[in-house]
Structure 1
Amino acid sequence: MTSTPKYSWIILLFLVLSGMINQVDKIIIGLVSVPLMKELHLSPTQWGVVGSSFFWFFTFSSIILGGMADSKNTKKMLTWMSLIWMIVQFFTPFVSSLSMLLLTRMILGAGEGPAPALSTAIMGKWFPKHRHGIGFGAVLLGTTGGSAIASPLLISLIDHYGWRSAFIAMGILGLIVLVLWMIFGKESPQEIGCPSIQHKEQPSSSLSKVSWSQFLPHLISKNFILIVLCGGCAYWLLSVQAVWLPAYFTKIQHFNGQTLKLAVSLPFLFAAFFQLGFAILSDRLYRKTGDIRKARINLAGITMMLSALCLYLANAVNSSAMSILFFTLAPGFA
């Protein structure tokens, strides 16, 4: 099997950090939901629009800009995307109306849409196929593990210094990571004198440009449709978790202090362990069977069904403690 360049792990560290910032930038709006809704006099319906506005341009930028990751300079793309995230965080504390808040969420969504595709493209340049599972698992560990760590810290900041402090803190963190990425980030292994991962694993003929007539059949394949459905369900759950659960725990369950911090951070903590664990399992299945369907597709389908079961039980049980438990497990499987 193809060896992994040592510098790949440095690139992976930056992908983990950017994934963490990307995810926390998404969920921070939920952490400030109660004081922000109060200050701007927003109804629950208006808050729902705020939550969904993030995805209005997210979807289009995911397809359009995400597709560019295969042919453009990925280091530059990640640099520009990180710059957008950082600017939005520094600008959001100055919003004073619903329209301004919607604008910041739409811009952030457009800037974050290509992130998964970009991470995939960078991973493909630096890691051989048999390492993709652990690589993606580490990035997802950054997104969920980072959120588990950041949530209680940001809640404390909000309690002591107001909701604006959370955005400023994330803006500063984003600036630090962006500067380090510009210094240490590399476009491909060739920049450090290592051979291309893609050239080792694929014949040169397969690297030629693929026509739409060749590409379109894959869009209706069972594997692709399943992954799209899984991704849609996972993001639906993420949006509910990010936008509504902090307000639900605060206003309905009347959690505060440590209880609120645990209720918000535990789903991300469990998800972090689940993602890394299932990524390792997926890689082992791939090395053992060589079957991409069994290792990636089937496993993803099983975990999504477990997530759906947890969501059903979370709404069906009468116990608040059991409901929170299943709400905690569902994102981990998703």
Structure 2
Amino acid sequence: MSVQATPGTPGETTPKGAWTITFLLFLFMLVNFADKIVVGLAGVPIMTDLKLEPEQFGLLGSSFFFLFSIAAIVVGFIVNKVPTRWVLLVLALIWALAQFPMVGTVSFTTLLICRIILGAGEGPAFSVAAHAIYKWFPDEKRTLPTAILSQGSAFGVILAVPALNWIIVNYSWHYAFGALGVVGLIWVAAWLALGKEGPLESTHPSLASEVKIPYLQLLTSRTFIGCCAATFGAYWALSLGLTWFTPFIVKGLGFSQKEAGFVSILPWVFGATIVILAGWISQVMMARGSTTRIARGVLGSVPLVAGGLILAMMPYANSAGLQIAFLVVGSGLCGAIYVVCPPMLGEFTPVSQRGAVIAIYGAIYTLAGMIAPSVMGSVIQRAGSTLDGYLTGFTINAVVMVASGLLGLLLLWPNTERARLTRAAPQADALKSAVSPT
């Protein structure tokens, strides 16, 4: 008996309605990242109104991730048994309700608690959405939908930043949170009406005979470790972008809040281009016979190294424009890894275990989000000047990105992983048969 890591076979037809679900989940991730970005976008008004020091604001940015990883793992195991349609609905409802307490007068403690709750609701988001979307696409057609799904994050920022910044500038940062709560409830209503469970895997005959692989074996495979390491570096950059990019533009470089709103879009526009391009290139390379080691592993890791090297040039730039350009390009390049890692894990993980494995992967790499904002806040508070503190923090980010990219190049071999696990499966079956009662 062989491992059925993915039940799809080459040339399998994509079910009708797959792209509708992809679009709805794209919107799901759009709302997800709009929720994430609002604290960073309103960072200066929040710090002013609540009289926060940089370390306190760094703690606020990190607090979002306190329960993020734990929730991702718990829900990852839940979606192995419960339809993703209902799990996605509950998650989106939590996001919406967690925004409304900020509409009125709010203390730092209340804001902190609401961000922790929001993080618990958003922790499983991408892994559950990816698991859901893989029920609609066979393996060789998953990279592009994964890229579209992940770009809900970029478009969430691109579309939300001008709208939310307008509310912040003309009304109050409190109302920006309320607007996100309303948008979240609208998505919940749309998903109730149109959301469906994917039919591709639930009806596939191979699932009945699918061999399960011990989680220890899956989680200690070099490709799993490589995905966690590589994406950790990318998420370090992303979490700094969510929390500290706009304050850097305002307090570090001297832009106004209104100007910063437009500048804050740039990394996400560039990042969206990189991710969609990476997804398309990966799919074309695979169609032309490239191994997933090249079309996914190398393609995702090299931009991380390049981005880190570009980011490291920020302290040597002699103008604000050049510093922004290095930050935009350097941090934007790392987005390619988000497109390739979930499909790589799906290559060798049995379908009945895939939700948990992708969730655990997400829980590990998003630990960067708990560390990076606090590190930046601490560095800024202890620096000789505000700008020096920011530049030192981004240099640390550059080192993390280069190291994670190199680990990705070393460890990401999904095609070899699949072959090794396939060879091991008959031995596990034989052992199981030997100890079973007759």
TM-score (norm 2): 0.71
Residue of structure 2 aligned with 1:145, choices 130, 155, 160? 155
Distance 1:116 1:207, change over 3 A: farther
How far apart, CA to CA, are the structure 2 residues paired with 1:88 and 1:106? 9
Hey, what does 1:285 align to over in structure 2? 285
> Structure 2: which amino acid aligns with 1:115?
A
- Is contact 2:169-2:258 (8 Å) kept? no
Give the superposition deviation at 1:332.
Answer: 2.1
- 1:204 pairs, out of 203, 207, 210, with 207
Aligned equivalents of 2:238 and 2:129: distance in 1? Answer: 19
Give the superposition deviation at 1:179: 0.2
Which residue in the other structure is 1:234 paired with? 234
Q: Are 1:256 and 2:256 matched, yes or no? A: yes
Larger Rg: 2
Q: Identity over the aligned pairs, expressed in percent?
A: 32
- What is the aligned counterpart of 2:107 among 86, 89, 97? 97
**How far is the alpha carbon of 1:258 from its aligned partner?**
5.6
CA distance in 1 between counterparts of 2:170 and 2:52 reads 23
Structure-2 residue corresponding to 1:67: 77
In the alignment, is residue 9 of structure 1 matched against residue 19 of structure 2?
yes
Residues 1-334 of structure 1 mapped to structure 2, 5 A cutoff: 1-94=11-104, 96-189=106-199, 196-197=200-201, 203-204=206-207, 207-208=210-211, 210-212=212-214, 215-256=215-256, 259-289=259-289, 291-334=291-334
The separation in 2 between residues aligned to 1:27 and 1:16, in whole angstroms, is 17
Amino acid across the alignment from 2:92? S
SS at match of 1:217: helix
Unaligned runs of 5+ in 2: 1-10, 335-438
- Residue by residue over 1:74-102, the C-alpha shift from the partner in whole angstroms, topping out at 9 and shown as x without a partner, is 01000000000000111222352221111
Do the aligned residues in 2 keep the contact of 1:85 with 1:111 (CA within 8 Å)? Answer: yes
C-alpha RMSD of the superposition: 1.8
**Secondary structure in 1 matching 2:165:** helix
Indicate the larger mover: 221-230 or 253-262: 253-262
Structure 1 stretch displaced more, 25-34 or 64-73: 64-73
Tell me which protein shows more helix as a share of its residues: 1
Paired with 1:258 and 1:305, the residues of 2 have a C-alpha distance of 33
Q: Give, in whole Å, the separation in 1 of the partners of 2:73 and 2:331.
A: 24
| Partner amino acid, structure 1, of 2:87 | M
Greater Cα offset, 216-225 or 113-122: 216-225
Using the TM superposition, name which of 113-122 and 286-295 deviates more.
286-295
- CA distance in 2 between partners of 1:312 and 1:258 (Å): 28
Structure number with higher relative contact order (C-alpha < 8 Å, ≥ 6 residues apart): 2
> Is contact 1:268-1:331 (8 Å) kept?
no
Q: Distance in 2 between matches of 1:44 and 1:206?
A: 55
Mapped partners of 1:240, 1:273: distance in 2: 20
Partner SS state of residue 332, structure 1: helix
Compare 10-19 and 31-40 and name the one that shifted more. 31-40
Q: Distance in 2 between matches of 1:157 and 1:204?
A: 50
Following TM superposition, by how much is the alpha carbon of 1:162 offset from its aligned partner in structure 2, in angstroms?
A: 0.7
What SS does the corresponding residue of 1:125 show, helix, strand or coil?
coil
Which shifted more, 228-237 or 316-325?
316-325
- CA separation of 1:274 and 1:165: change in aligned 2, threshold 3 A: same
The range that moved more, 68-77 or 310-319, is: 310-319
Report the Cα offset of residue 227 of structure 1. Answer: 0.9
**Distance of 1:125 and 1:309 partners within structure 2:** 38
Deviations 1:257-278 (A, max 9, x none): 6632232001011111111110
> How many pairs does the alignment contain?
324
Gaps of 5+ in 1: 190-195
> How far 1:11 sits from its partner (Å)?
0.5
Query: Whole-Å Cα distance in 2 between the matches of residues 277 and 71 of structure 1?
Result: 34
Looking at structure 1, the residues matched to 55 and 180 of structure 2 have their Cα atoms a distance apart, in angstroms, of 27
Contact 2:249 2:255 in 1 (8 A): yes
Higher mean alpha-carbon deviation, 47-56 vs 310-319, is at 310-319
The CA deviation at 1:199 is 5.6
Taking structure 1 as reference, are residues 60 and 299 closer, same or farther at Cα in structure 2, changes over 3 Å only?
same
3-state secondary structure, aligned to 1:127: coil
Cα distance, 1:127 vs. partner? 1.1
